[in-house]
C-alpha cells in the first residue's frame, strides 16, 4: 500500500523560500503513470490545487501549476529517493496553510478523470517573521 | 479560472434521511472530469464518484451522482451513521480545482 509523508519547516520568514518534500513508500514513482500532486488548505478554507508533476519513462517530468502561483512555484521529482518536492519562492503570509501531497491517477484512456487516490496527512506551514 | 461552489455549507440530517449536496461551477464542465470525495475526521479523502455519476469501486449504491454543465449533485438516499462526514467535489480541466466542501452533520 502506497503511503505519502510530507516533511519540511513549519515556519518560514516572509520573502524566503518554502521547500517541502513528499516521501513515497510502499510503491515506486518509477512505476510511472501517476501525477504527483501538491495542494494546500488555508485556515478555514477549502482545498487549493497547487500543481503536479507527471512521471513515466517517456515523460519523466512534465509539470502543471495553478496560474496564481506560476513564477514562484517549482515541483520536482527525485526518483532515486522516491520523493517529490515543492519549492515556493518569495512567500508571504498568504502562503500560510496546510500543505498536502497526493497521488493523482489523472485522466485515463477511457476519458474519465479518476482523481486522487493516495493522500499525505499534510504539514502546517506558517509564514511569519 | 473555474470556481466550484458547494452548498449548503452544513447539512443537518438524521440517519435514514436523504441528503442532497450541490456543486455549482462558474462555467460549463466536462462531466467526465468531475469527482466527489468523502472525508472523515483524521482520515484521507475517499473517492466516491467519478465521471459525475459513476460510483467508484466498493461505494454503496445509496450514493449517487448526477448533473451536467454547471450543476452537479451528490445524493445519499438514506443516511447511515458512517455517512456523516465532509463531502467535496473536484474538477480537473487544464488545472485542478476543489469545492469548499459540505459537512453532513447529525441532527
B50–A113: do the CB atoms touch at under 8 Å? yes
B95–A67: do the CB atoms touch at under 8 Å? yes
Residue B56 gets which letter from DSSP?
A: P
pLDDT at B81: 97
Size of interface A-B (CB pairs under 8 A): 65
What is the nearest CA distance from A97 to chain B, expressed in angstroms? 15
3-state secondary structure B31-84: HHHEEEEEECCCCCCEEEEECCCEECCCCCCCEEEEEEEEEEEEEECCCCHHHC
pLDDT at A56: 84
pLDDT at A60: 75
pLDDT at B69: 97
In this structure, what C-alpha cell is assigned to residue B8? 449548503
What is the nearest CA distance from B2 to chain A, expressed in angstroms? 11
Tell me the average pLDDT of chain A: 94
| pLDDT, tens digit (0-9, with 9 covering 90-100), for B35-91 | 999 999 999 999 999 999 999 999 999 999 999 999 999 999 999 999 999 999 999
Residues across chain A: 129
A46–B47: do the CB atoms touch at under 8 Å? no
B21 pLDDT band, cuts 50/70/90, is: very high
Residues B64 and B29: their CA atoms lie apart, in Å, by 18
| A45 contacts in chain B (CB < 8 Å) | 100
A59 pLDDT band, cuts 50/70/90, is: confident
pLDDT at A31: 87
pLDDT at A44: 87
Amino acid at each position: 500500500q502506497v503511503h505519502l509523508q510530507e516533511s519540511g519547516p513549519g515556519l518560514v520568514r516572509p520573502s524566503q523560500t518554502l521547500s517541502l518534500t513528499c516521501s513515497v513508500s510502499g510503491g515506486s514513482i518509477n512505476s510511472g503513470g501517476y501525477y504527483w500532486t501538491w495542494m494546500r488548505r488555508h485556515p478555514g478554507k477549502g482545498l487549493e490545487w497547487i500543481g503536479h508533476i507527471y512521471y513515466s519513462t517517456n515523460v519523466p517530468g512534465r509539470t502543471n501549476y495553478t496560474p496564481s502561483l506560476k513564477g514562484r512555484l517549482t515541483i520536482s521529482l527525485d526518483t532515486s529517493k522516491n520523493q517529490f518536492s515543492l519549492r515556493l519562492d518569495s512567500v508571504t503570509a498568504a502562503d500560510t496553510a496546510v500543505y498536502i501531497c497526493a497521488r493523482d491517477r489523472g485522466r485515463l484512456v477511457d476519458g474519465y478523470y479518476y482523481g486522487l487516490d493516495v493522500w499525505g496527512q499534510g504539514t502546517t506551514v506558517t509564514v511569519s517573521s | 479560472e473555474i470556481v466550484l461552489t458547494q452548498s449548503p455549507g452544513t447539512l443537518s440530517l438524521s440517519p435514514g434521511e436523504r441528503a442532497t449536496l450541490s456543486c455549482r461551477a462558474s462555467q460549463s464542465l466536462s462531466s467526465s472530469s468531475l469527482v466527489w470525495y468523502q472525508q472523515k475526521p483524521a482520515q484521507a479523502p475517499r473517492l466516491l464518484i467519478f465521471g459525475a455519476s459513476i460510483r467508484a469501486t466498493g461505494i454503496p449504491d445509496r450514493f449517487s451522482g448526477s448533473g451536467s454543465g454547471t450543476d452537479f449533485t451528490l445524493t445519499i438516499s438514506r443516511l447511515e451513521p458512517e455517512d456523516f462526514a465532509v463531502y467535496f467535489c473536484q474538477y480537473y480541466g487544464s488545472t485542478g480545482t476543489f469545492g469548499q466542501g459540505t459537512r453532513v452533520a447529525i441532527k
